[in-house]
C-alpha cells in the first residue's frame, strides 16, 4: 500500500505544479458544477484490508482496490451518488470454482464540498457489503457497511479531473455456520489510497 500512496502523492504533485496555462483558466469549481451537474468516476489503487470475527483476529493484507461511482450535484456545497467498490484477496478462476476471495460493497454516498473555490471534498456513505469465499471451507456473507474519506479533484480538461482519494470502510458479514470452524460477528475494515478519474456532463455544459 505504501507504493500506492507514493504514486498518488506523485500524481497530485505533478498536476498541481505542471498544469498548463490552458488548464488554469478553466471555470471555477462552482461554475463547473452549475454547467455540468452530473458526474461519473472510476478509481483504482491499493488497500490494507482486515477480516475478523469473535474467534479470529486476522492480519491486514494488501489488496487491489477498484471502484465506480456516479451522481449529481444538488447544491454548490454537496453532491449525492451511488458507489460500487471492491477488494480482491484471491484471484478467481473460471476453470477452478474452489478459488477466489473478495469483499465488495454498494453504497449511497454524499460528498461535502466545503470551499466554493477549491475542489476538496469529504465523503460519507452507507450501504451493503458482501464477502465471497469459494474455498471448500469458506462461507459467504453480507451485511451493513459504511465508509468515510475525502479527496481533491485536479482539473486536467474542461469536463475531466483526476482525484487522489483516501478512504476508510467497514462492515459486517454475519455468522459463518461451518460446523468445523464456526465464526460469529464476522466483519471487515479497510483503509485505501486510490486515484480517481472524474468526468462531468449534462446541464448547460453538455
Instruction: Return the C-alpha cell found at 47.
Output: 488497500
Count of the separate structural domains present in the chain:
1
**R_g (Cα) of the chain, nearest Å:** 19
pLDDT digits (tens, 9 = 90+) for 22-51: 344 345 555 555 568 999 999 999 999 999
Tell me the pLDDT tens digit for each residue of 105-160: 999 999 999 987 888 999 999 999 999 999 988 899 999 999 999 999 999 998 99
At 162, which CATH number?
2.40.160.20
User: Residue 173 burial by CB count (10 A; 0-12/13-18/19+): exposed, middle or buried?
Assistant: buried
pTM of the complete model beyond 0.85? no
| Residue 65 CA neighbour count, 13 Å, CB half | 27
For residue 143, the model assigns a pLDDT of 97
Burial of 180 (0-12, 13-18, 19+ CB in 10 A): exposed
Structural domain including 115 reads 2-205
Amino acid at each position: 500500500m505504501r507504493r500506492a500512496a507514493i504514486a498518488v502523492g506523485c500524481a497530485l504533485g505533478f498536476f498541481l505544479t505542471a498544469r498548463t496555462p490552458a488548464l488554469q483558466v478553466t471555470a471555477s469549481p462552482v461554475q463547473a458544477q452549475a454547467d455540468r451537474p452530473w458526474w461519473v468516476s472510476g478509481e483504482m489503487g491499493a488497500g490494507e484490508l482486515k477480516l475478523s470475527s469473535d474467534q479470529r483476529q486476522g492480519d491486514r493484507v494488501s489488496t487491489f482496490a477498484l471502484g465506480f461511482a456516479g451522481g449529481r450535484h444538488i447544491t454548490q456545497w454537496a453532491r449525492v451518488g451511488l458507489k460500487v467498490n471492491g477488494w480482491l484477496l484471491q484471484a478467481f478462476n473460471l476453470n477452478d470454482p474452489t478459488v477466489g476471495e473478495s469483499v465488495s460493497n454498494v453504497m449511497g454516498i454524499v460528498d461535502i464540498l466545503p470551499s466554493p473555490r477549491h475542489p476538496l471534498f469529504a465523503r460519507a456513505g452507507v450501504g451493503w457489503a458482501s464477502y465471497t469465499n469459494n474455498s471448500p471451507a469458506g462461507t459467504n456473507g453480507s451485511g451493513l457497511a459504511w465508509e468515510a474519506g475525502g479527496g481533491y479533484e485536479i482539473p486536467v480538461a474542461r469536463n475531466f479531473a483526476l482525484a487522489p482519494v483516501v478512504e476508510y470502510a467497514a462492515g459486517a458479514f454475519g455468522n459463518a455456520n461451518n460446523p468445523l470452524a464456526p465464526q460469529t460477528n464476522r466483519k471487515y475494515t479497510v483503509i485505501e489510497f486510490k486515484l480517481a478519474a472524474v468526468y462531468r456532463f449534462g446541464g448547460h455544459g453538455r
